[in-house]
């Protein structure tokens, strides 16, 4: 089901489809995968996803489903029908919701997408979490929801690269960690605050690096992709 062995997942956050397609023309499906989020999916829908899949890209459909178990299971099935490589749900939807999602993937056998969970959104502060009635520490809540996702049979979680080391130690090598907030050494941070370079994130235990603007806004995206690939080569050849 996978066309690439690269850990790099390029986040396509464009308002115009043509801009995204222009970028994709310059990328190589062997060197990276693509992430489509709520913005592009809402604008351009499943046909756009199919278009990327037909160009041999592994697609992470980042729609973060969170609803009653039956609805989430059906939404996950609809996403898997598009032929994508990875999908996700909110772990805070609970174990039953995640188990239903996992079960919905069984019919797809070896073609099933990776099913991962979002724990606590990294945009959320400790105060905001407490406001929701969660009284414990934010990092403990991340750990609790990641364990719950593993218990429900999911393949991994989205997390900050700063959490990756602890989560790998607690949940084991096979549990996949997908990390945004990646910036190249000496590059601009944009609105990301707790950033890591690709090399640091992989060394910390990340399995997949979600990288948007450093590639999408680059004047030479393929060149940037090669540079990132080179910077992590020593970590991939083992
Ligand atoms: O451009 P940049 O590399 O910051 O893009 C990161 C991508 O990862 C965006 O699509 C953003 O929505 C997503 N993301 C994130 N932080 C999270 C979860 C997702 O930056 N905690």
Mean local confidence (pLDDT), 14-24: 96
Mean local confidence (pLDDT), 228-235: 95
The dihedral formed by the CA atoms of 52, 236, 11 and 170, expressed in degrees to the nearest 10 = 120
Mean local confidence (pLDDT), 109-118: 97
| The pLDDT value given to residue 224 | 96
Mean local confidence (pLDDT), 233-238: 83
Q: Whose CA is nearest to atom 19 of ligand 1?
A: 180
Residue 83 has pLDDT above 90, yes or no: yes
Residue 77 near ligand 1, beta carbon < 6 Å: no
Question: Which of ligand 1's atoms lies nearest the C-alpha of 217?
Answer: 1
Taking the model in full, what pTM does it have? 0.96
Give the 3-state secondary structure of the chain: CCCCCCCEEEEECCCCHHHHHHHHHHCCCCCCEEEECHHHHHHHHHHHHHHHHHCCCCEEEEEEECCCHHHHHHHHHHHHHCCCCEEEEEHHHCHHHHHHHHHHCHHHHHHCCEEEEECCCCCCCHHHHHHCCCCCCHHHHHHHHHHHHHHCCCCEEECCHHHHHHHHHHHCCCCEEEECCECCCCCCCCCCCCCECHHHHHHCCCCEEEECHHHHCCCCHHHHHHHHHHHHHHHHCC
Residue 122 has pLDDT above 70, yes or no: yes
Residue 114 has pLDDT above 80, yes or no: yes
Contacts (Cβ under 8 Å, ≥6 apart) of 52? 24, 34, 36, 59
Quote the ligand 1 centre to 213 CA distance (angstroms).
9
Contacts (Cβ under 8 Å, ≥6 apart) of 2? 58, 85
| The pLDDT value given to residue 192 | 77
More confident residue, 2 or 210: 210
Question: d(Cα 143, Cα 203) in Å, to the nearest integer?
Answer: 20
Residue 25 has pLDDT above 60, yes or no: yes
pLDDT tens track for 91-112:
999 999 999 999 999 999 999 9
| The pLDDT value given to residue 60 | 98
| The pLDDT value given to residue 226 | 96
pLDDT tens track for 187-204:
778 887 778 999 999 999
Residue 122 near ligand 1, beta carbon < 6 Å: yes
Question: Which of ligand 1's atoms lies nearest the C-alpha of 123?
Answer: 21
15, 37, 116, 180: which to mutate for ligand 1, most atoms within 8 A of CB?
180
Residue 51 near ligand 1, beta carbon < 6 Å: no
Mean local confidence (pLDDT), 80-96: 98
Residue 186 has pLDDT above 90, yes or no: no
Orientation of helix 69-81 relative to helix 95-104, angle to 10°: 30
Residue 210 near ligand 1, beta carbon < 6 Å: yes
Does the active-site annotation cover 64? yes
Question: d(Cα 105, Cα 195) in Å, to the nearest integer?
Answer: 33
Quote the ligand 1 centre to 212 CA distance (angstroms).
7
Residue 238 has pLDDT above 60, yes or no: no
Quote the ligand 1 centre to 159 CA distance (angstroms).
11
Q: Whose CA is nearest to atom 6 of ligand 1?
A: 212
pLDDT tens track for 32-59:
999 999 999 999 999 999 999 999 999 9
> What percent of the chain stands above pLDDT 90?
91
Q: Whose CA is nearest to atom 18 of ligand 1?
A: 180
Quote the ligand 1 centre to 97 CA distance (angstroms).
24
* CB 1, CB 25: distance < 8 Å: no
Mean local confidence (pLDDT), 4-12: 96
């Amino acid at each position: 089901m996978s066309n690439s062995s690269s850990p790099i997942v390029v986040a396509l956050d464009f308002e115009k489809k043509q801009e995204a397609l222009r970028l994709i023309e310059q990328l190589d499906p062997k060197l990276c995968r693509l992430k489509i989020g709520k913005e592009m999916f809402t604008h351009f829908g499943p046909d756009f996803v199919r278009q990327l899949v037909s160009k041999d890209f592994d697609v992470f459909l980042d729609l973060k489903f969170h609803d009653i178990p039956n609805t989430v299971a059906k939404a996950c099935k609809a996403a898997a029908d598009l032929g994508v490589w990875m999908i996700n749900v909110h772990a805070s939807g609970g174990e039953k919701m995640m188990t239903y999602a996992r079960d919905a993937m069984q019919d797809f056998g070896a073609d099933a997408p990776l099913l991962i969970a979002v724990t606590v959104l990294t945009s959320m502060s400790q105060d905001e979490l407490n406001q929701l009635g969660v009284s414990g520490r934010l990092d403990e809540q991340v750990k609790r929801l990641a364990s719950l996702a593993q218990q429900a049979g999911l393949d991994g979680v989205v997390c900050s690269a700063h959490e990756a080391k602890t989560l790998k130690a607690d949940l084991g090598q096979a549990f996949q960690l997908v990390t945004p907030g990646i910036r190249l050494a000496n590059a601009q941070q944009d609105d990301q605050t707790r950033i890591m370079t690709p090399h640091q994130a992989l060394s910390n235990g990340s399995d997949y690096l979600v990288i948007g603007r450093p590639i999408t806004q680059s004047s030479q995206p393929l060149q940037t992709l090669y540079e990132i690939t080179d910077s992590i080569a020593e970590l991939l050849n083992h």
